Amino acid sequence: MAICFLSPLKPTTPTISSTPNLNPKKTNILRCNFSLPIITTTEPEPVFTSVRSFAPATVANLGPGFDFLGCAVDGLGDFVSLRVDPSVHPGELSITDISGTKNLSKNPLKNCAGIAAIATMKMLSIRSVGLSLSLEKGLPLGSGLGSSAASAAAAAVAVNELFGRKLEVKDLVLAGLESEAKVSGYHADNIAPAIMGGFVLIRSYDPLELMSLQFPVEKDLIFVLVSPDFEAPTKKMRAALPAEIGMSHHVWNCSQAGALVASVLQGDLVGLGKALSSDKIVEPKRAPLIPGMEAVKKAALQAGAFGCTISGAGPTAVAVVDSEGRGVEVGERMVEAFWKEGNLKAVAMVRRLDRVGARLVGSVPR
């Protein structure tokens, strides 16, 4: 039984419930009152000598869904390799290698993958073996594609798989959120879809409640991701947001977020794109901080995209289309707009929805 501790003396039990929607059988709500549940005091033995995991990139906010909507995209992400290491003190974790970037610490207490791995080890009460972790960054830092969340998700899944998959999805999200809270802020709109895949709605943060939104499998959904050569630090982009908003903007964004969720469940790309493009609170404050962003959005829509917005805190722009061919055309126009209006070089990628989330991709049995 999972127990979440509000304090050392006040345990509460998390629950899983469902809420009616347009597709009720496919919506799950994961609820917990605090971050790290204590799963069991019985320490599991490792079932593998080593494992390799992958977690995908994510698009957070999706326009009007600031801090409560996100989705995973395929073909991009981070890898984590984890092994039992007799040279590491029992119960501890060592980060031995980081590739793909030179800007991350190997101190596991200051690294998003390390923090999530340690949180998962605590959940499992790992005390008898030490672990070594290596991180392969496939996502650039500060790209607006959930780079820290991908590392955290891959690490949490790796630890869980190494010890026989004892934890549930909700526990892995909580371990990843522990990392996000220390590295990029207490928000689950990247870490939840990175672990769960697909679209995810964060219904509540206190207690944490997550809803998986199923986009119809028979429908095509293509993302055009255009990343300029520009840094948009999350702290700076959050500092630009208003502390208070008017009632009319509140009502507008709520209605657009509701329309976006309904469009996801119905597989309505026209409605999804329209809602995606309609944020009146966050995007208007952030877009001017990214050179050329407003022109990029206009170019995407003129080229046939159903919608376009900033991915996460940026600087990546994301557009939605219904075919890879159209995605290539839209991406070219967006890259041109970044160069002409923002004087920024950019790279376009065309990707599909990742419906799986973080997963095991390799293992060596004991």
Instruction: Report the catalytic residues.
Output: 180, 234
Q: Are 144 and 223 in contact (CB under 8 A)?
A: no
Classified as helix, coil or strand, 181 is helix
Q: CA dist 10 to 7, 16, 269, Å?
A: 5, 20, 46
- How far apart CA 267 and CA 76 sit, in angstroms, is 23
Q: Could you tell me which residues are beta bridge partners of residue 227?
A: 347
Cis omega (within 30 of 0) on the bond before 24?
A: no
For residue 346 the two structure tokens come to: 């950019």
Name the burial class of residue 76, with classes exposed (0-12), middle (13-18) and buried (19+) by CB atoms within 10 angstroms of its CB.
buried
Determine the residue type at 355. R
Kindly state the tokens that stand for 282. 């966050």
Distance CA 269, CA 275 (A): 10
Opening angle at CA 241, ends 237 and 245, nearest 5: 165
72 touches 351 (CB < 8 A):
no
Contact 306, 320 (CB under 8 A): yes
User: What residue type is 78 in one-letter code?
Assistant: D
- CA torsion, points 292, 294, 299, 300, in degrees to nearest 10? 110
Residue 161: which H helix or E strand, with range? helix 147-162
29 closest CA partner among 41, 42, 14: 14
C-alpha 182/C-alpha 161 separation (Å) is 24
> For residue 97, which phi and psi values (nearest 5 degrees)?
-155, 140
